[in-house]
Amino acid sequence: QSEEQRKTLEAQTQKQQQLEQYKDQLERKRQNDALKQQISAQQYLKEEERRKDEEAVSRQEAMRRKTLEYEAELRRSTELAKVKAEAEGRILQERKNQDIRMSELRTSAREYRRTVIEAIRAAGSTIGTGFSEFISDREKLTASVLTLTGLAFGFYAAKVGTGVTGRYVESVLGKPSLIRETSRTSPLDIVRRPVGFVRSLSRTSRPDSALEGLVLKEDLDKNLRRIAVSAANTRKNSAPFRNVLLQGPPGTGKTHFAKGELPRFPCQNIWFSIKHINLATCSCSGLARYSGLEYAIFTGGDIAPLGKDAVTEIHKIFEWAKRSRKGLLLFLDEADAFLRRRSTERISEDLRSALNAFLFRTGEPSDRFMLVYASNQPEQFDWAANDRIDEIVTFDLPGREERLRMIKYYFKKYVEAAASGASTRIKLDGISDEHFVEAAKRTEGFSGREIAKLGIAWQSAGYGTNEAKMTPDLYMMVLDAQVRQKLLKSEWRVAAEGTASHRQEAVAST
């Protein structure tokens, strides 16, 4: 029983302890809640104080801004009132002074008018008196009239004489502006180049030597020699010249043939044809040089830009040509740019007038000048221009043999000559005749100018290597590149011709 009491007491004691602990926890919780409420209340009070401070600052800032705006408005009003008052004061002052200024101006004008009238009266009286005395004195009157007449005549004579003298000096010493190049020597050229003038006088040549070295059939040889000899004999006998058309692809030597500046090749490699039969020549010195004629060159493309002055310049050329003592070979290069059909081509009125002037000047055969036309497209000529042509020489593209000779010549000139005479020598390594034959075979369709450029390309490629050496591989590489460029240009031309054909068909259909 005592054991049970002890256990009961322990249980009660434990229960009492738990109850005390629970009460203690409740008290602590109550104290924590009270502390939190106190802290929250303090924070609330602080926030209220901060908000009130901010509101007070905002009210003060608003009052300050209103004060500044009021002060600014007050200053602006004051300035406006001041400016208005000053302007009204000036206006009032001007109104008060207007009567005074007007009175002063009226007084000044009356004085000026009185002074001018008195001066006019005095001058009129003086002039009238002098004129009356001059009229009454016959000797003075006659001398004055003669003097004035002499002065007027002298002024007019000096003006007209200066113009006539200037035009005469220009016609004798100068050349027309359209002429790009001429062998005709003027006194001014003699003064500038006396040595060259003396050499030109000492140079002699035979008329038929223009065709020396030609390798061709006998009848064609005679025909060509007849053209050269005929030009020389025509000049000697003062007979009318025959006009010649040189037609063919670009770069075939048309201009050089007429001038006589084709290079001298070691063998037959200048080529041209009559009636489309290929010829080869060793030395084509040209019609102008070996017929004894002077030559002058102008181009068809220079005429259109002259506009209204083109007609005057055309007449100047033919007047200048007539004054040649030896006779003149008048060479019109790129003639198709000027002598276009007037009926179908769209040309300006100025160019049409220039073409009419040219046809007027060339309507009759002349014993003073010989016309030589050069064109890539003579089919575009006006029919009246075709009627002025008496002989046609066609420059065709060279055949394989001619190309072979030209390739050898230009390779020797630009590569082998550079290898022996230049400061930087091009070394030849394995280049043989087989390579020249291959180049001649692959350059089908090349003109003489293009073959010359091929020689320059070989030279440039040789100089482009570190050792300045021309090898077979480099030789063939340059040849391949030039052939590809030729094919590309041919494609461009075909495409352009096709586009032009379609455009003409479209215009015709409309």
When mean pLDDT is compared over 30-44, 224-238, 246-260, the highest value belongs to: 30-44
- Chain centroid to CA 133: how far? 70
pLDDT at 219 over 60: no
pLDDT at 205: 47
Position 128 scores a pLDDT of 78
Mean predicted confidence (pLDDT) in 6-25: 87
| Best-predicted range by mean pLDDT (69-73, 227-231, 496-500) | 69-73
Cα 42 to Cα 5, 6, 33, 47, distances in angstroms: 55, 54, 14, 9
Say yes or no to pLDDT of 173 above 70: no
Q: CB neighbours (10 Å) of residue 119?
A: 10
List Cα–Cα distances, 97 to 83, 102, 104, 204, 406, in angstroms: 21, 9, 11, 101, 103
**Between 510 and 443, residue with greater pLDDT:** 443
pLDDT at 232 (0 to 100): 83
Distance of alpha carbon 262 from alpha carbon 255, whole angstroms: 9
What is the C-alpha separation between 334 and 374, in angstroms, rounded?
6
- List of residues 6+ apart from 478 with CB closer than 8 A: 454, 457, 458, 461
Give residue 237's pLDDT.
Answer: 86
Burial class (CB in 10 A: 0-12, 13-18, 19+), 448: buried
State pTM to two decimals. 0.56
Q: Is residue 325 predicted with pLDDT exceeding 80?
A: yes
The whole-number pLDDT of residue 438 equals 93
**pLDDT bracket for residue 11 (50, 70, 90):** confident
The pLDDT tens digits for 428-444 are 888 899 999 999 999 99
- Give the angle 234-238-244 at the CA atoms, nearest 5°: 40
Token pair 């400016």: residue? 83
- Distance, in Å, from the CA atom of 503 to the CA atom of 307, rounded to the nearest integer, reads 27
| Section 341-370 average pLDDT | 88
Task: Report the pLDDT value the prediction gives residue 253, as an integer from 0 to 100.
Answer: 65
Q: What's the confidence (pLDDT) of residue 290?
A: 66
Write the DSSP symbol of residue 415: I
Query: What's residue 90's pLDDT?
Result: 86
pLDDT for position 473: 92
In one-letter notation, the amino acid at residue 20 is E
DSSP labels, 225-290:
HHHHHHHHHHHHTTPPPPPEEEE-STTSSHHHHHHT-PPPPSSS-EEEEETTEEEEES----HHHH
| Residue showing tokens 């029983």 | 1
Per-residue confidence at 488, pLDDT binned at 50, 70, 90? very high
| Rounded Cα distance, 340 and 363, in Å | 17
Contact assessment for residue 458 and residue 415, using Cβ atoms and an 8 Å cutoff: yes
- Which comes out higher in pLDDT, residue 174 or 360? 360
Residue 167 scores a pLDDT above 80 = no
